[in-house]
Structure 1
Amino acid sequence: MANHKDLHKLSAAGLLISLGIIYGDIGTSPLYVFKAIIGERQITSDLILGGLSCIFWTLTLQTTIKYVIITLRADNKGEGGIFSLYSLVKRRAKWLAIPAMIGGCALLADGIITPPITVSSAIEGLGLKYPGLPTVPIVIAIITTLFVIQQFGTSLVGKTFGPIMFIWFTMMGVLGLSYVVQYPGIIKALNPYYAVHLLSTSPDAFVILGAVFLCTTGAEALYSDLGHCGRENIRVSWIYVKSCLLLNYLGQGVWLWFRQGTTLNADMNENPFYQIMPDWFLIFGIAIATAAAVIASQALISGSFTLISEAVRLNLWPKVRINYPTNQKGQLYVPSMNWLLLTGCILVMLIFGESARMEAAYGLSITVAMLMTTILVAVFLKRMKIPVYIIALFVGVYCLIELTFLTGNMAKFLHGGWFSLMIGFILFSVMWAWSNARRIKNRYVKFVEIEDYYEIISELSEDESVPKYSSQLVYLTSANFKSEIESKIMYSILQKQPKRADVYWLVHVDVMDEPYTLEYKVDFLIPEKLIRIDFKLGFRVEQRINVLFRLVVEELVRKGEVNITSRYPSLNKHHIVGDFKFVVLEKVLSRSNKLKLMERIIMAYYFILKRLGLSEERGFGLDLSFVTVEKVPLIVSTTEEIRLHRIY
């Protein structure tokens, strides 16, 4: 089992898996970036050199410095991504939940557009060989297959994809180099002067910036997948990836250099990426590009799974089923998210049809995510006691760059940007309602001192005038301290319907940051009457509480610490074990509550989401035949001051 330290060790396998899992998105951008920069404009030396300069400096400032050098430092027990970053800094200020939620939702929205645009860009290359070929059904078939194989785990995917991506990057580097040697002067484009000159003189500066931004869209996924590959593997493999990307962009620049004064032929679907391939190689190039596009989609999908699992742990998303297909840390599969993303991808294909139209929807939401990461990284740097002037410089530089890109991308709003923002907004509403509803609920969770009830619980257990509810009665409690208990549980035992039992059990679950922790602690609060078990479970351990609880009880029986034989004389004589019953308290909103209108709307939305997610008893893996779900009011209202007059 890979532990936290092994994960960050530099190794050939780690480098290969990094290539396979995390560079798909950023590594396939040469398929459409230069084509988007040129668009329908006339090809000029200013446009070529300025475009290349913008690409180089965007990759250097945004991807290399911000993500690879600075942001990768912010790892939480080996995990990366915006929610891991948020959990590192959330104690600093409550409002930090907002940028975390916005950033997370923007990334998920982006995950819906990445597979269609990358796979379409690759498949459209077939139009050069077979003009008029309908690409939409081919793309939908490829994407559907990709989502179906998710359930088998990405470690299998990483091992097969690593060598393919190595071939892809090497191919791009070699193709680019074959053109750069024809005109080495193209390297002067790395001078930032050309970027500044293009952006200050071109009337389309913001539209061009929106297209340039597409070259760095995978940077956020690179951080999200830190848990899959480890920091050192990402940093070393990025050197090779960036070199190959730059060579390819420069090669496309040389091809365009010899075409100055003309425009790209839209009818022929002319794309500089495919034009630098020799004719005999084209079909192989398209095949490798398609494989790379599938891998690009994979990077975003596995990133989305990581995001959702962290959101569930941070109580920002409803409980959903999370599977762990392999034993490798960071490998997971979220069925509900998988099918949601697939539906979104098919919708994108049906709405937009071709990659040129998708470029408009792409990039807008990711700029928002990057801005949110900047805010959280700044707080993280403050926590690490980095000098204030360095933090100010970081925030100033990156807010300026990202706000400029955001302005450039806003030009895309009407052409398709609305779609990704709409998806992002829907996802944000779920997170916002879920976290706010939890806050409202916590306001009304009242804890009482459990010692005050020892006497009455002992007496109730012995009171034969009360019908016995169950031999062993088990409650799940959220009280972190053994001295406390929710008043709702005492209300359920004593008032709702007095529940007599031989032994009362309280079970508390703590989710640990370590993946495979499996520990428990037992406290005998009232000997042979009231027992509390605290489970400490790793985030990879399936919470099958009834199985774990049974194991603990069997252990206690073996050691003679408890007696679970039925107290009914006829059964006791034959040593028959008493029955166990779990009671799950489900909070409902009573009509006579004092919530404000906005809070009522949030709670109504919350209860709809709760019905769609995993129920409490399923989330804890309880055997449904032994569970009673008891509805308790969220707010037990006090009688309002009403003046009633009695008439005699």
Structure 2
Amino acid sequence: MDALSISSLPISYDFRKETWRHTLLLSFQSLGVIYGRLSTAPLYVLESIDPEDIRSPNEIHELFSFVFWTLTIIPLLKYACIVLRADDDGEGGPFSLYSLLCRHARVGLLPSNRGSDKILHHEKDSPSKGKLENKARRAIEKHKSCHYLLLFLALLGACMILSDAILTPAISVLSATSGLGRSLATISVKFFSSEKTKDHVANGLKKYVPTPAACAVLVCLFTLQHHGTKRIGFIFAPIVIIWLFFISGFGLYNIIHCDPQILRAVSPVYLLRFMKKINLRHWKLLSSVVLCIAGSEAMFADLGHFSKKSIKITFICFIYPVLLLTYAGQAAFMSKYFSAADAFHLSESIPNKNLQHVFAVLSLFASAVGSQATITAGFSIINQCQALDCFPRVKVVHTSEQILGQVYVPDVNWLFMTLSLAITIGLHDVSQLAKATGLAVTSAMLVTTCLMSLVIALYWEKSWFASVCFLLFFGSIEAIYLSTSLVSFFRGAWCLIILFLLFMTTMGAWHYGTLKKYEFDVENKVSVEWLTDYSPGLGVSRVPGIGFVYSDVDTGIPAFFSHFITNLPAFHQVLIFVSFKSSPVPYIPENRRYLIGRVGPKEYKIYRCIVRYGYCDNVRDTDDFEDQIISLIGEFITREEYDCEALSSPEGKMIILGSPMEDGNALVTVAETSSSTCTPTIRESESQRHLLDIPSDSANPPITRKRVRFTLPPKSPQMRASVREELLEIIEARESGTAYFLGQSHLLARKGSNFFKKFLIMAYVFLDKNSREPPVALNIPNAALLEVGTLYTL
């Protein structure tokens, strides 16, 4: 899917106007995306328990009681009823909660949050003015350690979700292929007469079939991701529905025929009975029980792909009762045959042996579907992290024109597949993978609980008593499950630490490098007067054309451009400084996205454009981005004198703009009929060669670029002479050609820096060299692009 032009960018779907028909449609799709993980958890929740740790059927009843109350408290009460209400304009996940806190407590450490220009802040959602809340906010804003702690929590939650996106496909598919291996072993032994041969073949199939089969399924699963959430939802949803009816039907059968008394275990008395005799053996059993809620975090993290109403209705009316029926039936079967071999496998609870083969095939498809929730959540988290400068540049493909939250990240998809295959081959054991998955699940949930407690107090403006109660109630339950996973650290949970260090190093190094670069640029920028007043004394000349200067600073002249002027004293007759500023919000309305202003006096024809975007916006990957800016500058010129909404900035007046005016008083664009492969115009090439001192015989490779011309509007004779003259000069400069200036940074640690700082800088340099090019450079002709190298000594 190619980048969309600004005029055709998908708009955020307004779920408040959602019809029941659309809700049911989204509910159907969510079954194949969000709830596949919860639906396939019965494959490995009780299977990951060591049979030697179960001493009596009563313990199975007590474990089912834990499953029942855990499913009721965490996904139903916490997520469906409370956390889903804390969406950030339809977006979920730890970074959405962090963005709410950044806006309402001003704890952001991102470059855009550290600027002094107040006009960059979003206009709505201003903090509360309550006396108690103001004291709390001031206390949090005052202590810098609180800022770093909240950012660490957001990154920790993101790392756990990304790790879960790798572990879940491995454990889901491996547990399903284990059943396939047993099914093949059952069939194959019929062809041999010798008991020794039967045992040898059966053991070989059980041992060697699951891992290769799991790898093949994983490759197919990740290959399907480019189809997008909508198509995958339609493909996978029927599989989940058939799977749930299949296992819940046999669950009901086992309750009736094996142990109807299992239904009494919903009483909390069974919980207390289990806790009274708690020991290390029982603690290890709980580390498997926590997997029954694996996938609950996806209900919130995947919120951008669906609506709150569809997610809530699907879980309460279908997923929750069906899962309880399934676990109750499996526990009833285990309580009757707990001493039998393989009794803890879900496939053994199928009474008909022929249907067990059907179960093996169906579970294989269902396990692939079950991985979709965490993979999709991983894409959403990567999109948010990248927009907030916490992840290296990767390509993000928006797979829906109506719902911007539905994204696909190709580079990360193949990274997930590689790591998932490595873990599957390396561990090839469901029990060990279960310990690592349980630790990832509980860690992510605990992070959400901590951030959510602050959102309750600072965003919902509830009392701190309510916030503390939420933290203690849900946090204590999740902390208990977290400790049970840590007990099994050396039995598989250690691999999560490796994934955590990988992602945290990547995010931390990129954030550190980006932040230090921004601080260096701010400290070394030069004043506007240097360019407008003192540059003539340096012999600087103006050449025909428009120059776009891209930088991170929103005031002054970036250091790399002053370095360029000092060595090559010339710049274009129209100069436009462009900077991108991320805001801790999902979307910036298109009509409030651009801030246009002047740099210096009018006669210098120097302008500044600040582009604001949210962490789900897609602004940079556009073909006509510069043409849009030129149109908006023309609108700024016509509205400059009388605009009442103009904002003040350190450099003067700035106007918030979006789409060009409908009355046609600004520049009018005319697309040329020839938009096929072409080369730069003669005047454009000559002006650039004159500016950059390039030999005239240098060859320009053909490029594909749509050419747009600008003309004055029909009402131009009614304009003021100064406005008309300035617009004509911009048109003339556009016809003369366009050049683009980018800063190319080279980071270097100071002598005597500690090892940790050197390591972060080395990691950032490595990531910067191997990540995607800056989005603004993707569609710029090579002949018109100039990168100015700057050495950053940190």
Give the TM-score taking structure 1 as reference length.
0.88
Which digits, 9 at most, give the CA deviation of each residue in 1:103-142, with x for residues without a partner? 1111111211110111121222223321143122211111
Whether 1:326 and 2:400 are equivalent positions in the alignment is: yes
Aligned-partner Cα distance in 2 for 1:165–1:565: 59
Aligned-partner Cα distance in 1 for 2:461–2:737: 57
Whether 1:348 and 2:423 are equivalent positions in the alignment is: yes
Q: Tell me the equivalent position of 1:550.
A: 627
Q: Is the 8 A contact 1:516 1:540 kept in 2?
A: no
Letter in 1 for 2:505: S
**289-298 or 90-99, which deviates more:** 90-99
**227-236 or 533-542, which deviates more:** 533-542
**555-564 or 359-368, which deviates more:** 555-564
Deviation at 1:508, TM superposition (A): 3.0
Q: Tell me the equivalent position of 2:389.
A: 315
Q: Tell me the equivalent position of 1:407.
A: 483
Q: Tell me the equivalent position of 1:571.
A: none
Deviation at 1:503, TM superposition (A): 2.2
Aligned-partner Cα distance in 1 for 2:400–2:235: 15
Distance 1:241 1:51, change over 3 A: same
Q: Secondary structure at the match of 1:40?
A: helix
Aligned-partner Cα distance in 2 for 1:125–1:597: 49
Aligned-partner Cα distance in 1 for 2:427–2:393: 33
Which digits, 9 at most, give the CA deviation of each residue in 1:66-124, with x for residues without a partner? 22212111101101111111111135341200111111111111211110111121222
The structure 2 residue matched to 1:582, chosen from 740, 748, 754, is 740
Aligned-partner Cα distance in 2 for 1:198–1:619: 62
Aligned-partner Cα distance in 2 for 1:592–1:116: 43
Distance 1:7 1:410, change over 3 A: farther
Letter in 2 for 1:427: F
The structure 1 residue matched to 2:51, chosen from 34, 39, 61, is 39
Q: Is the 8 A contact 2:244 2:322 kept in 1?
A: yes
Distance 1:455 1:8, change over 3 A: same
Whether 1:111 and 2:277 are equivalent positions in the alignment is: no
Q: Is the 8 A contact 1:117 1:359 kept in 2?
A: yes
Aligned-partner Cα distance in 2 for 1:371–1:476: 40
Deviation at 1:593, TM superposition (A): 7.5
State the number of aligned residues: 617
Whether 1:514 and 2:524 are equivalent positions in the alignment is: no
Q: Secondary structure at the match of 1:543?
A: coil
Deviation at 1:4, TM superposition (A): 2.9
Q: Tell me the equivalent position of 2:562.
A: 491
Q: Secondary structure at the match of 1:317?
A: coil
Q: Is the 8 A contact 2:561 2:788 kept in 1?
A: no
Whether 1:434 and 2:510 are equivalent positions in the alignment is: yes
Aligned-partner Cα distance in 2 for 1:362–1:545: 39
Counting only pairs closer than 5 Å after superposition, residues 467-546 of structure 1 correspond to structure 2 as 471-480=545-554, 484-489=555-560, 491-510=562-581, 513-514=586-587, 517=590, 520=594, 522-525=596-599, 526-527=602-603, 529-535=605-611, 539-544=616-621
Q: Tell me the equivalent position of 1:301.
A: 375
The structure 1 residue matched to 2:292, chosen from 211, 215, 226, is 215
Which digits, 9 at most, give the CA deviation of each residue in 1:530-584, with x for residues without a partner? 13334456744351466321354474741261436779xxxxxxxx932321110
Q: Is the 8 A contact 2:396 2:408 kept in 1?
A: yes
Aligned-partner Cα distance in 2 for 1:358–1:617: 38
Aligned-partner Cα distance in 2 for 1:505–1:291: 54
Q: Is the 8 A contact 1:109 1:365 kept in 2?
A: yes
Q: Secondary structure at the match of 2:405?
A: coil
Q: Is the 8 A contact 2:290 2:481 kept in 1?
A: yes
Alignment RMSD (CA, Å) = 2.8
Deviation at 1:277, TM superposition (A): 4.5
The structure 1 residue matched to 2:757, chosen from 591, 596, 599, is 599
Q: Tell me the equivalent position of 2:335.
A: 257
The structure 1 residue matched to 2:519, chosen from 422, 434, 443, is 443
Q: Is the 8 A contact 1:8 1:229 kept in 2?
A: no
Aligned-partner Cα distance in 1 for 2:46–2:213: 24
Deviation at 1:356, TM superposition (A): 3.4
Q: Secondary structure at the match of 1:509?
A: strand
Deviation at 1:7, TM superposition (A): 7.9
Q: Tell me the equivalent position of 2:177.
A: 123
Aligned-partner Cα distance in 1 for 2:746–2:357: 61
Distance 1:323 1:252, change over 3 A: same
Which digits, 9 at most, give the CA deviation of each residue in 1:579-622, with x for residues without a partner? 32111012323676796664343223222211122232666643
**9-18 or 492-501, which deviates more:** 492-501
Aligned-partner Cα distance in 1 for 2:17–2:351: 38
Deviation at 1:486, TM superposition (A): 3.6
Mind listing any 5+ residue stretches in structure 1 that lack a counterpart? 568-575, 638-648
Distance 1:617 1:496, change over 3 A: farther
Q: Tell me the equivalent position of 1:227.
A: 304
The structure 2 residue matched to 1:200, chosen from 271, 276, 287, is 276
Mind listing any 5+ residue stretches in structure 2 that lack a counterpart? 1-10, 108-146, 186-201, 632-666, 669-709, 713-723
Which digits, 9 at most, give the CA deviation of each residue in 1:211-250, with x for residues without a partner? 1111111111121111112111111111210101111111
Distance 1:468 1:162, change over 3 A: same
Distance 1:338 1:490, change over 3 A: closer
Letter in 2 for 1:46: N
Whether 1:360 and 2:435 are equivalent positions in the alignment is: yes
Aligned-partner Cα distance in 1 for 2:165–2:51: 24
Distance 1:493 1:284, change over 3 A: same
Aligned-partner Cα distance in 1 for 2:287–2:621: 49
The structure 1 residue matched to 2:315, chosen from 231, 235, 238, is 238
